[in-house]
Structure 1
Amino acid sequence: MNINPLIKQFLLEWAEDEFWVGHLMAKKVYDYGPDLEENIAIGSISQDEMGHCRMLLRTITESKSEKEMDKLMYERSPEKLRVSHLAEYWYEYDWVKLIIKQLFYEVVDNERFKFSKKLSLQIILNISNIMEREESIHLEHWTEWALIISKDEKGRMKIQETVDEIYPLISDFFSGTLYKEISDKYLDVPSKPEDLLSQSLQKINKILSLLNVDIPYSEEQMMAKLVQKGGRNGNHSEGFSLLYDELTTVYRESPDMVWS
């Protein structure tokens, strides 16, 4: 199957985001939530994300072999990965940071879903419907937890502190030229990165108002961050290389094995 290089890169970046979100969530899953039931739920969500990564990789690999998919994720150096700063954000086993990171991620990922559907490409439609159903459940899950924690004054203060830290990472999700290039090629009415970011911020800000926390950056400030070269350009956050080494250690020790 011949896939346009722009679409292949779009799906690969999507897979990378899902890979990092899923693996970081599972990194110490038993230590996150307030009880065993929630830890099991987090484990299930992380498996969903890893499964989505695999579905996306299977779409863009020629041979469909597990080994070819493994190479895309485990054998590319950190600077060649285009994972977003939001997806790679590491929260040091912090329950509230996990909730807010995942809440923000699910909102922007939903905008990516809507953008992908506008392209009307069968290779994307084949997988997006399955993925979108699961992601909508994830968004409900994290939103409900944020609402619960925000009812307590100390919890709301912790949410505010976390929002202040993570909110600026949202812009990097839509940075770079890829969305514009794809939009110009496939859409009659272009969906610019600015539009996708604005729509995401509107939804996130609406949720934050329900939590009674302040919005730390204006939309104008967030738009200005779109031009910064970050994760989509291979410029990753501090500590990314250490996380990369940790997540790829087993594969690098036995590269001939198929890790599926």
Structure 2
Amino acid sequence: MTSRKLSKPADLPDDLRPILADWLLAAADDVFLLGHRNSDWTGLAPMLEEDLAFSSIAQDEIAHAQAYYLLVSELTGQPPDKLAYGRSPVQYRCAHLVERTDDFDWARAVVRQFFYEHYGWLRLQRMVRSAYQPLAELSGKIAQEEKFHLEHLDDWAVRLGTGTDESRTRAQRAVDKLWPDALCLFEPVDGEQRLVEAAIFPSAGCDIRRAWFEEVSRVLDRAGLTVPSADGMDRSSCPPGGRRGVRSESFGELFAELAEVYRIEPDARW
């Protein structure tokens, strides 16, 4: 494990740059697709206050994706727009959870974001300690906004679980449906252990899956919702999935919508 700080791409060993780029793409793709999924709720959330809040969260996620794509661009020389819109589906590294449509079911949208926020927060706690300074600095800024997201989604999970019979039923249905995808948020990209050894993605010092399960369970207990089985929490990896380019059935229509304008004229300047 290295103890020296790495302040620019040239400081990275040659063999680690493509691994870091792939890993950053996973982080970027996650929040890029999640932000776009959440933006579908603009003008449709249950109340005006939440319409503003959820739209703001969607904007934050897309802005965070842009920042990650800029880091990847510095490593690879590829323009951020091409990274966001110009790859083939198998080149995306997002988890299946963020691809899933919510079918305009508010409880499902909330639970999807809730599961992701707890994962993202644990990941950020490692990223702020990265030996790669650009990543550490960016993560510190993102964490300030993500803390608000986390608290907001925790409140909504409890609100749905302790609300009406219908809200509780919908919330429990969403938890059960999305649970398998949530467990696979932790699927590593190829070579990720090398980043851990180099302190670019520092070791969590604990079982991060177990930490996620405990935090999610704590909130779901408060909400009066049943926590699904912990079976599978101790797996070292998921079957090959989103991090390795295997796309879910939900990805196609979302990707077509996202890339429609870019593909008309990829080299356009705005």
What TM-score, normalized to structure 1?
A: 0.89
What does residue 44 of structure 1 align with?
Answer: 56
What does residue 184 of structure 2 align with?
Answer: 172
Deviation at 1:189, TM superposition (A): 8.0
Residues 187/82 of structure 1: CA separation in 2 closer, same or farther (3 Å cut): closer
In 2, are the aligned partners of 1:103 and 1:139 still within 8 Å (CA)? yes
Output aligned runs, 1:4-153, within 5 Å.
Answer: 4-31=17-44, 33-62=45-74, 68-152=79-163, 153=165
Out of 160, 163, 168, the position equivalent to 2:175 is: 163
Q: Which has the larger helix fraction?
A: 1
Instruction: Tell me the SS of whatever aligns to 1:93.
Output: coil
Residue type at the aligned position of 1:83: C
Deviation at 1:258, TM superposition (A): 3.9
Out of 225, 236, 241, the position equivalent to 2:252 is: 241
Residues 105/249 of structure 1: CA separation in 2 closer, same or farther (3 Å cut): same
What does residue 166 of structure 2 align with?
Answer: 154
Residues 226/188 of structure 1: CA separation in 2 closer, same or farther (3 Å cut): closer
State the alpha-carbon separation in 1 of the partners of residues 123 and 111 from structure 2. Answer: 19
Structure 1 alignment gaps of length 5 or more: none
Matched residue pairs, number? 255
Instruction: Tell me the SS of whatever aligns to 1:118.
Output: coil
What does residue 222 of structure 1 align with?
Answer: 233
State the alpha-carbon separation in 1 of the partners of residues 141 and 47 from structure 2. Answer: 29
What does residue 183 of structure 1 align with?
Answer: 196
For the pair 1:253 / 2:261, whether they are aligned, the reply is no
What does residue 213 of structure 2 align with?
Answer: 201
Deviation at 1:195, TM superposition (A): 1.9
State the alpha-carbon separation in 2 of the partners of residues 96 and 205 from structure 1. Answer: 17
Superposed CA RMSD in Å reads 2.4
Residue type at the aligned position of 2:259: T
Residue type at the aligned position of 1:35: M
Per-residue Cα deviation, 1:175-212 (whole angstroms, up to 9, x for no partner): 134442321232898448x9221211111111111111
In 1, are the aligned partners of 2:187 and 2:243 still within 8 Å (CA)? yes
Deviation at 1:150, TM superposition (A): 1.6
What TM-score, normalized to structure 2?
A: 0.86
Per-residue Cα deviation, 1:74-113 (whole angstroms, up to 9, x for no partner): 1111111111112222101111111111111110001111
Structure 2 alignment gaps of length 5 or more: 1-8
In 2, are the aligned partners of 1:113 and 1:128 still within 8 Å (CA)? yes
Identity fraction in percent: 29
Per-residue Cα deviation, 1:10-42 (whole angstroms, up to 9, x for no partner): 2221111111011111134222x1122211221
State the alpha-carbon separation in 1 of the partners of residues 109 and 200 from structure 2. Answer: 35
Deviation at 1:225, TM superposition (A): 8.2
